[in-house]
Amino acid sequence: MMRWRLAMMLLCLTAAAARATAPLSVTGAWIRLLPGGLPAGGYFTLRNDGDHPVKLIGAKSPAYGSVMLHRSLQSQGESGMVGVDTLTVPAHGQIRFAPGGYHLMLMQPRAPLEVGGAVTVALEFDGGVTLEQIFVLRPASATGP
């Protein structure tokens, strides 16, 4: 465990310029824009090809004042969502952020955003590692990237 932490720290230091995070990769990153100033949802698949689990602890974006990890829940016919503090991606596994489940909740856009555009989101991991990713902006009717 200690060795992994050290490796992560070294990775962070050496990869900061390249913005590469060796065993982690993101695919299918998109944001669903909603009208009327409603919060936008961010979706993606996060893959960990490393030999150790990795803990996602947050996200931020220069395009939004606030980005949070959320999970949609259904209970007794009512839907709602709760904040998620951390989410562990298993070794050689993946987690999926998708409508109806885990999502990024993006609020307070710093400038008007339009369908067809894209924004950068940085996923933050335990150990100080961040992974920057381009998210495409899709309309409210979209179900995928």
Residues interacting with Cu ion, by CB under 5 A?
70, 81, 105
Nearer to Cu ion, 44 or 129 (CB): 44
Residue 9, both tokens: 């720290």
Determine the Cα–Cα distance for residues 9 and 4; give it in Å rounded to an integer. Answer: 9
Nearer to Cu ion, 8 or 56 (CB): 56
Which helix (H) or strand (E) segment is 57 a member of? Answer: strand 54-60
Nearer to Cu ion, 100 or 117 (CB): 100
Nearer to Cu ion, 18 or 74 (CB): 74
Work out how close the CB of 88 gets to Cu ion at its nearest, in angstroms, rounded to a whole number. 20
Q: Are 108 and 123 in contact (CB under 8 A)?
A: no
Q: Are 109 and 122 in contact (CB under 8 A)?
A: no
Determine the Cα–Cα distance for residues 50 and 135; give it in Å rounded to an integer. Answer: 23
Work out how close the CB of 99 gets to Cu ion at its nearest, in angstroms, rounded to a whole number. 11
Work out how close the CB of 95 gets to Cu ion at its nearest, in angstroms, rounded to a whole number. 16
Work out how close the CB of 22 gets to Cu ion at its nearest, in angstroms, rounded to a whole number. 30
